[in-house]
Amino acid sequence: MKRHIVVLVAAAFAVFGIVGTANASTAPGSFKDGPYTATTPDSGCQGNNWAQDLFVRNFVVTLPAVGGVYTVKEKFQRGHFSTFDGASPGNGCGGQIHIKEGVNGTFSGRFVMSVSGGTFDPNGACVKHQYEGWMQCDTAGWVEGFFGPSATYSVDQYSFTYNASGQGLIAGHWVNADTGNSGDIASS
């Protein structure tokens, strides 16, 4: 399975045509940066990795800061996933029991974060980290690169929606959010 995912990731980087390059722009009251192509494992309600995700990250900073705290929205777009054999993502929070290997689907989502303890630098650059052999921009690296190493952040709100159909599924829609989880991606 690991070889399958590495091939999938390499092909997707080629299709997306982006390997962590930034395209920053500013508008009154905001700063936008991205896209950054990324791949990471995805965890379910039990903390298990149920899928490998491939997606594009974009960041929007609301300016100016309020009381030294910046609001940053991280958007996860053009997301695709491929499942591992094991517990389904919703298992443990009202979902089904199992997901088979190789189920493919799509997702999108967002984080709304509070960033403090740093100073925003619109000329910053993401500090990249290695995942599965790829150097890529993650949330922590982006915050460090644009707010400095002393900055901290908290994810105040999050929401992700996953969809898959066919493929022998008994459940093909899962919402993972700070307001609650519903549904599942499950094969039995």
- Which residue range is the domain that position 127 belongs to? 2-186
pLDDT at position 20 over 50: no
End-to-end alpha carbon distance in the chain: 20
Model pTM score:
0.84
Q: Which of 40-49, 131-140, 143-152 has maximum average pLDDT?
A: 143-152
In tens, the pLDDT along 27-62 reads 459 999 999 999 999 999 989 999 999 999 999 999
pLDDT, residue 64, reads 93
Structurally, the chain folds into a number of domains equal to 1
Q: Strand pairing partners for 57?
A: 36, 76
Angstrom distance (rounded) from CA 178 to CA 158: 5
List, in order, residues 6 or more apart from 103 with CB less than 8 Å away. Answer: 82, 83, 164, 167, 169, 185, 187
pLDDT digits (tens, 9 = 90+) for 65-106: 999 999 999 999 999 999 999 999 998 787 678 999 999 999
Q: Which of 130, 58, 62, 50 is nearest to 91 (CA)?
A: 50
- 7-34 per-residue burial string, b: 16 or more CB within 10 A, e: under 16: ebbeeebeeeebebebeeeeeeeebbbb
